[in-house]
Amino acid sequence: MSTKHLLAEELHPIIELMPNTDITPDNLPLFRKVGAEGVVMGDPARAGVSREEVRVPGADGDVRCLLYRPVGKAAGCPGYLHIHGGGYIMGSVEGSDISNIQLAARLGIVILSVDYRLAPEHPIPAPLDDCYAGLSWLHENAEALGVDRQRIGVGGESAGGGLAAALAIRARDAGDYAVCHQHLTYPMLDNLTGTDVQPGDPLVGEFVWTRARNRFGWESYLGTAEPVAPQVPARVESFAGLPDTWMFTAALDLFRDENLAYAQSLLAAGVAVEVLLYPSACHGFQLLPGTELTARFTADHRAALARGLGVTEG
């Protein structure tokens, strides 16, 4: 059954731009290569932002990150740990460069974007370990960076959103580093979504990130590990004490129902949650430039992050 008639007309080009070829171990290198070739880096100096590559100490060696800092900003600004998407198997910090430059400039925040190791070469626990190393470094270097430790948030898109949710759980349980806000854009939270056990609404998951791709992503990420929290956030036993949350999802996104279920569980635990759901949109729609929905998302995402970190948009 085709759901193309439910997709906003301005988003129809994404069907050809991102065809639903299954991802396999054999063609994964090609997917990564094509993704890397399509990356366009921004101009931080023009936006009044500095960008530098930093190496933070991790569980298995240094973790590469990109650090964004607004030039001339006074001390005491918020920090934001950003985690890129890509189904746990693809993507890079460079792919989020323009967005992170704009956020640092408009909100006056310090951003650390983590180039975590990818599955299947590096399954659980490596990706989350790398993200936790980034959070640790951001806290430990807060004074030198001019960051307020009490206003450090985490966030990301798709698998990056899943890792951000996992990071918030791990940080809560460890009790070493405070997280004030989690900013989750259609996060990848539940390994059962799209399987025979939990196939979901047939109206979701036709475009960009399909059931087959989701199964491959989770199988690659889990490896031989059990699907338990924090790496699989949907399996967490208690949602109490998790940070205030912004949850974004889309009507035709495969993750729609798992996102809404996660938000409901947070609400039931007394966590402050803002939920935003776009009709007629699919996973990854904002990767298509020049659409009204992309412009709307950019504004909504930025305004919500400003609220979450307690800043005023510039």
Active site positions, annotated: 158, 253, 283
CB 42 within 8 A of CB 66: no
If one counts every other C-beta atom within 10 angstroms of the C-beta of residue 1, the result is: 5
Q: What tokens were used for 215?
A: 């199964």
Q: Whole-angstrom Cα distance, residue 112 to residue 13? A: 32
CA distance 230 to 135: 15
Residues 6+ positions from 295 with CB-CB distance below 8 Å:
none
Tell me which DSSP letter residue 193 carries.
B
Using DSSP's 3-state secondary structure scheme, residue 132 falls into: helix
Beta strands in the chain (DSSP E): 49-58, 61-70, 77-83, 110-114, 147-157, 181-185, 244-250, 273-278
> How far apart are alpha carbons 165 and 289 in whole angstroms?
27
φ/ψ (deg, to 5) at 289: -75, 160
10 Å CB burial of residue 243 (0-12, 13-18, 19+) is buried
Q: Which residues contact 24 (CB under 8 A, 6 or more apart)?
A: 216
